Structure 1
Amino acid sequence: MLSEVISAAFVALWISSCASTSAEDPYMTRALQLMSETPLIDGHNDLPWQLRTQFNNELNKVDLNTLETTQTNIPKIKKGKLGAQFWSAYVPCESQYKDAVRQTLEQIDVVHRMCQQYPETFMLAISSQDIMEAFRMNKTASLIGVEGGHSLDSSLGTLRTMYQLGVRYLTLTHSCNTPWADNWLVDTGSEPSQHNGLSPFGKQLIVEMNRLGMLIDLAHVTEAVMNQVLNMSEAPVIFSHSSAYSICPHKRNVPDDVLIRVKDKGGIVMVNFYNDYVTCSKTAKISDVADHFDHIKKVGGPGAVGFGGDYDGVKRLPEGLEDVSKVPNVVAELLRRGWSDEEVKAALGNNLLRVLSQAERVRDGLKAKRPDDVPIPFDEVKNPCRTSYGYSNAGAVHSLGTLALALTLALQALITGTVS
């Protein structure tokens, strides 16, 4: 008799479990199907920084197939169906004016070595075409984004060198001002503005990034910088890991007026999963993340949204999104909310592919333009760790170069009907 009762209870539990699974299966099944047709392209992952802090970049001592101290490893990547990833080449603001360039080059090197050490999983990608080729080969396309303009040491030559090494976006600031741009903390009132947005050299940098075909990432800048770049840039811009300010009023998120301009520019906001930016609190759920997707789609249209999880860069993540393997849960939730297949595919990767392709077209249209070799004025970067070689004979040339930039920007403003 007891065995019959236990058996009946087990059957009832199994039926209940199946019913629950069945109710969710259609959305998850469809989510996984869409992710097999369109690459999930995530805008920001800090695994390279974890490799530095945990292993001092000694990749030979690490097995990414078994690593369990990070939110990202190869099994999690496979389960999460990660089609392409912008790996962050990040170094802290404390390195500014010291060894930021060296440390950033080492982070770029780590991404290259990841691709070399695990060729069956990763493929280095430097173009929209590379992303699709890697996807067809069932590999994760590995792109590089430098997080923080302090990594350049205010050098256009360094910017160009990093582009040649595969860097395809630059986050203009991290959480510190550079000698040419203000960071997001200025908008909180905790730091003073140094440039009212971008300095003249900062505007030179935007023009040169357009010429190179490097995406401009506005994830960590002030609203003034956001609007100045949107006025100036010939190519679409990205927010690689930011969310919607109207849902969570944190200054790292994107206000609606800027979001509308991002849409008009053909750009994209890639939703950050960090709880503090999702709910402005320590806890969050998958539904809270989906609220940001919904809002960005409502204000900017389905063409303005993407994924920018910020895995391995944050410690607090929503319940059900604890690591890279859980990202399909967001896709299933969007389908549950009535997103169409085409809207989901746009958010997964088609939007980023469009943005990168357009930046490449702008680059191709500027091929005849020479690289900008006018340096930042020495007085703007003078510090005990910087030498002045070359500056003594360049003052007059620099003045002419600055005048030429001013005239170029003024002409561009007249053509577009905007004022930077």
Structure 2
Amino acid sequence: MADLQDELHSLPEAGDHEAHDEAPDEARHARREGSRAPGPQTPAEADDDLDRARAVLAAHPVADGYSGLPWALRHLSWYDLQLGETAVDTDVPRLREGHVGALLWSLHLPEGLAADRAVGATLEQLDLVRSVIAAHPEGLRLALSAGQVIDARNCGRVAVVLGPATAAALDDSLGILRALHFLGLRVLTLTGASWASGAGLTRFGEEVVREMNRLGVLADLSGASDTTVRRAVALSKTPVLCTRSAARALRPHPDNLPDDLLAELGAAKGLCLVPLTAEQTGPSVRDVADHLDHVRALAGPDSVGLSGTFDSGTAHPQGLADASGYPHLIAELLRRGWPETDVALLTWGNIQRVLRSADFAARAAQERREPSTARIAHLDG
């Protein structure tokens, strides 16, 4: 395979294209103030916004930061994602209609699963997703790096990145972390383990983050305590993700982030992926857009992304019930005066940057750091 740097040059980066912000002055003012442009829309104006949204997404598709599809498929005896599958929120036709170019497939386990089953259940999930991808080669392609995500898009496939998985899947073993990475894992959620609790990261937890950096596994901090988030942001040599976090100031959900952490995440060039769930962001497209406005204002346009959270057992805002609804959300953002450069970062560019950073940092770290042999009993005992 060609060098990663050559692969990345096959497509322009979001923000490098020559899109111009053609919003009128009042829309720019609305964007600065965090509010929508005034005045009701006519049907023709709504259609124009939707057409413009589809054109932007054709050039800069959605990299969806969280899909619960793998676990949902476990309960189906038969399915066909290529032709369409009404039993789930996600299939290839709806991904194409929604202009989705990449998905992070969650390997999270259901609550209540016995701790001693976490490793085995995660391996079963990995086996399932590889089988699903292999069974749908015309629509899906496994991607293990930023370059492979771009390759999949160039070939007209939806790139599938494996993760996040739950921290319990490591069973407090860095050897298991390396094995999961070898099998394709690229994102790990730092919650649900003794070494990443409300008190923050322990010494072993910090070693887990260092080994993740060495491997190129991204840290997902959604659901982590504020102390853990701050320590992981400070410690990690690669940008961190919050795969399912919106603005706590707008909706006081425990997985949403307070304003100070959003600002810290932005300063560290991390990425807050705003979930399309009624519980975390609200019941309408406008509510989701309000959260995106808020996160963008505090963390910056380089640190906000999208997380469909489809097939995860949660209700979604009206108009965003499945993976086909993204053009309606992007049309709302364009109507609010978001420049196309910022939309391109939101949908595609920011996830690409984070994946690319993980690839480069891992290559550098592997030249100077051997695989860690640390054990939890030695550091936290």
How far apart, in 2, do the equivalents of 1:250 and 1:97 lie? 26
How far apart, in 2, do the equivalents of 1:315 and 1:198 lie? 29
The aligned counterpart of 2:351 is: 352
The aligned counterpart of 2:33 is: none
The aligned counterpart of 1:166 is: 184
Contact 2:164 2:220 in 1 (8 A): no
Q: Which runs of 5+ in 2 are unaligned?
A: 1-40
How far apart, in 1, do the equivalents of 2:314 and 2:219 lie? 26
Select 2:227's aligned residue among 224, 229, 241. 224
Contact 1:46 1:88 in 2 (8 A): yes
Q: How many residues align?
A: 339
Select 2:161's aligned residue among 137, 143, 167. 143
The aligned counterpart of 1:62 is: 79
- Asked if residue 100 in structure 1 is aligned to residue 118 in structure 2, the reply is yes
Once the two structures are superposed, residues 357-413 of structure 1 have per-residue CA deviations (whole angstroms, 9 ceiling, x without a partner) of: 112121111122101112211xxxxxxxxxxxxxxxxxxxx46xx89xxxxxxxxxx
* Structure 2 SS opposite 1:98: helix
Deviation of 1:93 (Å): 4.1
How many percent of aligned residue pairs carry the same amino acid? 34
Question: Which residue identity lines up with residue 247 of structure 2 in the other structure?
Answer: A
Deviation of 1:112 (Å): 1.0
Comparing both structures, which one devotes a greater share of its residues to helix? 1
How far apart, in 1, do the equivalents of 2:88 and 2:95 lie? 12
Question: Which residue identity lines up with residue 126 of structure 1 in the other structure?
Answer: L
Structure of larger gyration radius: 1
RMSD value over aligned CA atoms? 1.6
Contact 1:147 1:172 in 2 (8 A): no
The aligned counterpart of 2:291 is: 292
* Structure 2 SS opposite 1:42: strand
Deviation of 1:96 (Å): 4.5
How far apart, in 1, do the equivalents of 2:124 and 2:79 lie? 16
Structure 1 runs of 4+ aligned residues shifted over 4 Å read none
How far apart, in 2, do the equivalents of 1:335 and 1:80 lie? 16
* Structure 2 SS opposite 1:44: strand
The aligned counterpart of 2:306 is: 307
Question: Which residue identity lines up with residue 23 of structure 1 in the other structure?
Answer: E
What is the 5 A alignment of 1:190-229? 193=198, 196-229=199-232
- Asked if residue 157 in structure 1 is aligned to residue 175 in structure 2, the reply is yes
Question: Which residue identity lines up with residue 153 of structure 2 in the other structure?
Answer: F
The aligned counterpart of 1:417 is: none
Question: Which residue identity lines up with residue 241 of structure 1 in the other structure?
Answer: R
What is the 5 A alignment of 1:360-379? 360-368=359-367, 369-377=369-377
How far apart, in 2, do the equivalents of 1:213 and 1:147 lie? 14
TM-score when normalising by structure 1: 0.78
* Structure 2 SS opposite 1:366: helix
TM-score when normalising by structure 2: 0.86
Deviation of 1:205 (Å): 0.3
**Structure having greater relative contact order (Cα 8 Å, sep ≥ 6):** 2
How far apart, in 1, do the equivalents of 2:339 and 2:281 lie? 23
How far apart, in 2, do the equivalents of 1:311 and 1:32 lie? 20
- Asked if residue 83 in structure 1 is aligned to residue 101 in structure 2, the reply is yes
Contact 1:96 1:150 in 2 (8 A): no
The aligned counterpart of 1:22 is: 44
- Asked if residue 178 in structure 1 is aligned to residue 214 in structure 2, the reply is no
The aligned counterpart of 2:145 is: 127
- Asked if residue 48 in structure 1 is aligned to residue 48 in structure 2, the reply is no
The aligned counterpart of 1:317 is: 316
The aligned counterpart of 1:238 is: 241
Q: Which runs of 5+ in 1 are unaligned?
A: 1-18, 183-192, 378-397, 404-420
Bigger drift between 124-133 and 88-97 goes to 88-97
